[in-house]
Chains A and B, each alone.
Chain A
C-alpha cells in the first residue's frame, strides 16, 4: 500500500512539472475516444479495486486472532451472493467490449478520400513515399485531413506507433497493412533565430541532427514521436522518426518541394550525404570501418571486394550503382543478402549523388583507382544509366 502511495507521489510530482500525466499530447481524433475509454475503464477498475484492497487489509486486521481460536463462521457458500459477483461484473465487461470494439472499427475503417502516403519500413528506419519521386524519412501530413499509410516492410516485422495519435499498426513483410489518422493539432514552427542557433551548433559539433536535444526538426517544426514497437533487432530502439503536422497545404507542398530533389547548385556529394542519412543507408553501413549489417562505406569505392561466391572485383561506380539498385546481385563475403532494392526509389541523380558521396568517404589508393577507371568512357557510363533506369513505383 505504501509502495502504491510513494510511486503515485512520484507520478504526481511528475505531473505537476510536465505538460501531461497519463498520456502524451492529444493530437488526433482517436486520442479523444481512446482517452475517454481509458478513463472509464480505469474508474471501473478503481471502483472494484478499492473495495477489494480495503476488504483485504481490513479483514486481515479485524479477524487476526491468536492461534487456536476457531473461526467465527464456517459458511461454505452462498449461491445468490456468488451468482451476483459472477454475473454482476459481466455487465461492465460487455460495456467495455462494445465501446472498445465500436471505436476500434471506426479507427480501422479508412475514410474515402484520405491522403495516401506509402510507408516502407526496414531495419532500422522508415521511408515515406509522397508520390512524384519524393521519399523522406519524416512523416509530414496535413492538419484536420485524414491520412492513410499503405505500409510494407522489406525485411522483418516492424510496427508504427504514434503515441500522440494513439495509433499503432504492425508492418508485416509479405503483405500490406493500412492505418490512418486525422491529426487535430498542428506542429508549431520555432523562430528562425532559434533554428539557426541549432543548425550552427549541430554543424559545429559535426554530428547529425539531435531531435531529443532540440525538440524540433531541421526545418524548425515541433514534432510528434513515431516509434517502432515491434522488436526488430539491434537498433530497434533507434528506429524512430518524427511526425510533423502542417497547417496549410501550401506549407506542406513547400516542404515537399524542398526535399523532392537536389538543388542543382548543391554539391552532389553533399546531397549524397543527406541521402545516406535520410534514406536508411546509415542503419546498416558505417563510415568508420565498423561492421554493422552491411559492409562499411569506408572500404567501398576503389577497394577490392571479395564476394560470397568466391569471385571479386575492385568496386567502381557501376558496381556501387548495381549494389544500390540490385543489392542481391553480388554479395560481399561474410554478409547476408538482406538489403532491400532501391530500384525506383532513387532517381538517377540520387544514385549519382550517393556514388559521389561514397567516393569522398572511401579510403583507397586514389592513384591506382584513377588508373583503373581511366579506361571507362563517360559515354559508356551514360548507356549503363539508361539501362538501369527503373520505372517509378
Chain B
C-alpha cells in the first residue's frame, strides 16, 4: 500500500464544501447580522479581530519601549517629561497585553469558535451571555482607551498601592476597565464550564474529549474562581482612592502588602489562564501534525487540572522580598516548586508523541516546536526564581522580565499563532501560503530569542526592571535586545501578511487539511452556521488509523467500511396537502 492510497472496500466520508447560504460567514449579511449575532463562531471571529487589534497596539508600545532603551539616557522620549512618557508606555503595554490580549486570546477568541464545534454541538450553552461577554470586553477596552486619553496611567499593570492611590493619573478609569474585563472573563468561563459539562455528545466521555477542551475546562475553573477576587481588589482600590477606607494605604492605617496579596491571588492564577489554553493547543497540534496518538493522554489531562488547582497556592512567590514572615516565604517557595512538575510532564509527553510519528513540518507544527523550545526555557528559568536565595538577587530585575516573556510570548503568543494557523482554514475556508507561514515562524523564533536571551544576562548582572534610563555598562545587551525586537516585529508582520493574503488569494480549504481526528474536522470549512445537521459520531479524538491522505484532492479524508444502508428502498415521500 503506497502512501496516500485509500484501501479498497472502504468509502470516503467527507462533508465537501458549504454553500454560501450554509457558510456561517455568508449566511446572513449586514453589520447588524454580525453585531447582534448569537453564533459562537461569529462571536469568536469578532473576538479575534478585537484581540489582534489590542495586540497590534500593545506591540507598537513594546517597540517604543525597546527603541527608547537603545541608549542609556533614553533614545525616544526626551525633555523633562521623558520618564513619565516611558512609564506610561510600559504601563499600557503591560495592561493591554495582559487584560485585552493574552487572557482573552486563546480562551475567548479561539475557544468560542472551537469549543462547540469540538463537542459536535450547535452553540455554547448560553449564546446571549456569550455575546454579552464580548461587549463587556469592548466596554473594558474603551475604558482603557479613555484612561490612555484622559490623564496618563503610570502605575504599572499591577496597580501597586500606595503609588496607585496617591498618583493623580487615571487609575480609576483603568481599574474600572479591568473590573469590567473581569466580568467578561467570568462569563466566558462560566459558559464553557456549562457547555462542556452538559453538551458533550453521546459517546464523548471525559476521557474522550480533545485535550484542548480539558485545557479550556481547567482555564474556565480558574476564571470563575479567581477573577472575582480581582474584581473585589480593584473595587477596594477605588474605594481606598476615593474614600480612604484605610485598607491598602498606610496613610490611613492600611497595609500596602495586603494589596499585593489580593492582587496576586488573582494574577498568579491568571498566569495559568494565559498558559493552560496554550498547553491544550500544543497537545492537539503536536498530535495532529505528527499523525500519531497523543502520548500519556490522562497524564496531560490531569496535569491541566493539577496546574489549575496548584496555581491558586503559589501567589506569594511574587512577594518574596516584600517582608513576609520567613515561614510563609518558605512555604510559598515549596509550593512553587510543586507546580513545575505538571508542566514538565507535558513537555515530556509532547516529545514522546513526536517520537516515531509521521511528522509534517507545516506552519502550525513549526510554531508548536518553537513553543516547546521557548516554553522549556521559560519554565526552567522559573527554578532560579522559585529558589529563595537566588530570587533575592533576581527579583524585579530583567531576569524576571525575560522569564515571563518566555512563558507569555514564547509560550502563549506562539501557541496562539500556531493555533491560528492550524484552525485558520477551518475558520475562513482558505489555505495560506505554507512557505510564507514557515518563514514567519522561523523569523519570530529567531527574533524572540534575540530579544529576550540577553535580558536574562541583564537581570543577573543587576539591571532593575521598569527603568527609563540605565547605567552605561548595560548598553550592549540592551541594544542586542532592541535589534531582536525589530526582527520579531518583522516576523509578526510576515504572519499577518500571509494570513490576510490567504483571504483574497488562498485556495479553498478542504474539510480536513491536516488530518485531524477531532470533530471540528468533520464539518465543512468553514462550518455551516448550524455546525452539524445531526450530532456526529464520536470516536477517539487521537485515533488516526482511519484518516488517509487523498493526494488527488490535497486533503485528508476519513474512511469507513462499505456498508449497505438498510432498508435499501426509500419510502415514497409524502407531501402534506397544499404544501408546495
* A residues apposed to B, CB below 8 Å: 1-4, 6-8, 10-11, 14, 18, 20-24, 30, 33-34, 37-38, 41-42, 44-45, 48-49, 52-53, 55-57, 59-60, 63-78, 81-82, 85-86, 89-90, 93-94, 96-97, 99-105, 107-108, 155-157, 159, 161, 163-164, 166-170, 172-175, 177, 212, 225, 227-238, 240, 290, 336, 338
A157 touches B162 (CB 8 A): yes
* 18 more CB-based (< 8 A) A-B contacts, given A14-B476, A82-B296, A161-B397: A3-B445, A7-B454, A33-B389, A52-B347, A52-B376, A68-B551, A72-B356, A73-B355, A76-B293, A82-B348, A85-B344, A85-B345, A89-B340, A96-B337, A97-B333, A100-B333, A101-B389, A173-B251
**Nearest-CB distance from B339 to chain A (Å)?**
10
Count of B interface residues, CB-CB < 8 Å: 112
Interface residues as binary, B229-264 with A (CB distance below 8 Å gives 1, 0 otherwise): 000000000000000000000110111110000000
How distant is the Cα of A172 from the Cα of B248 in the complex, in angstroms?
A: 12
List, sorted by A's number, 19 A–B pairs whose CB atoms are closer than 8 Å: A34-B389, A49-B377, A55-B355, A56-B369, A63-B358, A67-B3, A73-B355, A73-B356, A89-B341, A93-B338, A96-B383, A96-B387, A100-B333, A156-B166, A161-B464, A168-B393, A172-B257, A174-B250, A175-B257
A72 proximity list for chain B (CB < 8 A): 356-358
B255 proximity list for chain A (CB < 8 A): 174-175
B323 touches A172 (CB 8 A): yes
How distant is the Cα of A157 from the Cα of B156 in the complex, in angstroms?
A: 13
A53 touches B250 (CB 8 A): no
Q: Which of B157-175 contact A (CB under 8 A)?
A: 160, 162-163, 166-168
Name the one of A52, A86, A172 contacting B299, with C-beta atoms under 8 angstroms: A86
Nearest opposing residue in chain B for A48, CB measure:
B380
Q: Flag whether B84 is at the interface (Cβ < 8 A).
A: yes
How distant is the Cα of A217 from the Cα of B383 in the complex, in angstroms?
A: 37
A237 touches B457 (CB 8 A): no
Nearest opposing residue in chain A for B365, CB measure:
A60
How distant is the Cα of A108 from the Cα of B389 in the complex, in angstroms?
A: 10
Q: Flag whether B462 is at the interface (Cβ < 8 A).
A: yes
Name the one of B251, B392, B477 contacting A34, with C-beta atoms under 8 angstroms: B392
A59 touches B461 (CB 8 A): no
A18 proximity list for chain B (CB < 8 A): 473
Q: Which of B123-155 contact A (CB under 8 A)?
A: 154
B360 touches A64 (CB 8 A): yes
Q: Flag whether B428 is at the interface (Cβ < 8 A).
A: no
B471 proximity list for chain A (CB < 8 A): 212, 225, 240
Interface residues as binary, B293-317 with A (CB distance below 8 Å gives 1, 0 otherwise): 1111111000000000000000000
B392 proximity list for chain A (CB < 8 A): 30, 34, 104, 107, 166-168
A70 touches B461 (CB 8 A): no
Nearest opposing residue in chain B for A23, CB measure:
B460
A21 proximity list for chain B (CB < 8 A): 457
Interface residues as binary, B385-421 with A (CB distance below 8 Å gives 1, 0 otherwise): 0111111110111000000000000000000000000
Name the one of B334, B384, B388, B446 contacting A2, with C-beta atoms under 8 angstroms: B446
* B residues apposed to A, CB below 8 Å: 3-4, 72, 80, 83-84, 87, 154, 156, 160, 162-163, 166-168, 250-251, 253-257, 290-299, 321-323, 326, 329-330, 333-334, 337-338, 340-341, 344-345, 347-349, 351-352, 354-361, 365, 369, 372-373, 376-377, 380-381, 383-384, 386-393, 395-397, 445-450, 453-454, 457, 460-462, 464-473, 476-477, 480, 484, 515, 544-545, 548-549, 551
**Nearest-CB distance from A100 to chain B (Å)?**
3
A163 touches B388 (CB 8 A): no
Nearest opposing residue in chain B for A46, CB measure:
B380
B545 proximity list for chain A (CB < 8 A): 70, 74
Take A55-B351, A172-B256 as given contacts and tell me if A34 and B390 are in contact as well, using a CB distance cutoff of 8 Å. Answer: yes
A230 proximity list for chain B (CB < 8 A): 160, 396
B384 touches A38 (CB 8 A): yes
Take A97-B387, A212-B472, A238-B469 as given contacts and tell me if A59 and B321 are in contact as well, using a CB distance cutoff of 8 Å. Answer: no
A14 proximity list for chain B (CB < 8 A): 457, 476-477
B549 touches A170 (CB 8 A): no
7 A-B pairs closest in CB distance:
A163-B462, A174-B250, A68-B549, A3-B449, A100-B387, A104-B388, A103-B389
A231 touches B160 (CB 8 A): yes
B462 proximity list for chain A (CB < 8 A): 23-24, 161, 163-164, 225, 227
**Nearest-CB distance from A71 to chain B (Å)?**
4
A8 proximity list for chain B (CB < 8 A): 453
Nearest opposing residue in chain B for A175, CB measure:
B323
B361 touches A174 (CB 8 A): no
A168 touches B447 (CB 8 A): no
Nearest opposing residue in chain A for B377, CB measure:
A49
B446 proximity list for chain A (CB < 8 A): 2-3
B360 touches A70 (CB 8 A): no
B548 touches A60 (CB 8 A): no
How distant is the Cα of A89 from the Cα of B72 in the complex, in angstroms?
A: 41
**Nearest-CB distance from A311 to chain B (Å)?**
23
Name the one of B348, B389, B397 contacting A229, with C-beta atoms under 8 angstroms: B397
Name the one of B341, B380, B453 contacting A86, with C-beta atoms under 8 angstroms: B341
How distant is the Cα of A290 from the Cα of B79 in the complex, in angstroms?
A: 12
**Nearest-CB distance from A352 to chain B (Å)?**
30
A167 proximity list for chain B (CB < 8 A): 392-393
B515 proximity list for chain A (CB < 8 A): 67
Name the one of A69, A82, A159 contacting B396, with C-beta atoms under 8 angstroms: A159
A22 touches B457 (CB 8 A): yes
Highest count of chain A CB atoms <10 Å: which of B333, B348, B386, B447: B348
Name the one of B166, B365, B447 contacting A155, with C-beta atoms under 8 angstroms: B166
Name the one of B297, B357, B386 contacting A96, with C-beta atoms under 8 angstroms: B386
Take A4-B453, A229-B396 as given contacts and tell me if A159 and B321 are in contact as well, using a CB distance cutoff of 8 Å. Answer: yes
Name the one of A30, A68, A338 contacting B548, with C-beta atoms under 8 angstroms: A68
B395 touches A59 (CB 8 A): no
How distant is the Cα of A261 from the Cα of B266 in the complex, in angstroms?
A: 51
B480 proximity list for chain A (CB < 8 A): 7, 10
Name the one of A4, A73, A86, A105 contacting B292, with C-beta atoms under 8 angstroms: A73
A38 proximity list for chain B (CB < 8 A): 384, 390, 393, 460
Name the one of A59, A164, A338 contacting B355, with C-beta atoms under 8 angstroms: A59
B381 touches A11 (CB 8 A): no
A59 touches B449 (CB 8 A): no
Name the one of A57, A90, A231 contacting B156, with C-beta atoms under 8 angstroms: A231
Highest count of chain B CB atoms <10 Å: which of A11, A73, A78, A93: A93
**Nearest-CB distance from B456 to chain A (Å)?**
9
A71 touches B356 (CB 8 A): yes
Take A163-B393, A169-B323 as given contacts and tell me if A93 and B166 are in contact as well, using a CB distance cutoff of 8 Å. Answer: no
**Nearest-CB distance from A34 to chain B (Å)?**
5
How distant is the Cα of A136 from the Cα of B156 in the complex, in angstroms?
A: 30
How distant is the Cα of A284 from the Cα of B489 in the complex, in angstroms?
A: 38
**Nearest-CB distance from B552 to chain A (Å)?**
12
**Nearest-CB distance from A232 to chain B (Å)?**
6
**Nearest-CB distance from A140 to chain B (Å)?**
20
How distant is the Cα of A49 from the Cα of B290 in the complex, in angstroms?
A: 22
Take A6-B450, A100-B387, A103-B388 as given contacts and tell me if A236 and B393 are in contact as well, using a CB distance cutoff of 8 Å. Answer: no
Nearest opposing residue in chain A for B465, CB measure:
A229
**Nearest-CB distance from A393 to chain B (Å)?**
18
Take A59-B354, A104-B329, A229-B395 as given contacts and tell me if A174 and B445 are in contact as well, using a CB distance cutoff of 8 Å. Answer: no
B351 proximity list for chain A (CB < 8 A): 52, 55-56, 59
A166 proximity list for chain B (CB < 8 A): 392-393
**Nearest-CB distance from A150 to chain B (Å)?**
12
B299 proximity list for chain A (CB < 8 A): 77, 82, 86
B321 touches A168 (CB 8 A): yes
A71 proximity list for chain B (CB < 8 A): 290-293, 356-358, 544
How distant is the Cα of A338 from the Cα of B163 in the complex, in angstroms?
A: 11
How distant is the Cα of A168 from the Cα of B168 in the complex, in angstroms?
A: 29
A105 touches B166 (CB 8 A): no
A75 touches B293 (CB 8 A): yes
How distant is the Cα of A50 from the Cα of B168 in the complex, in angstroms?
A: 50
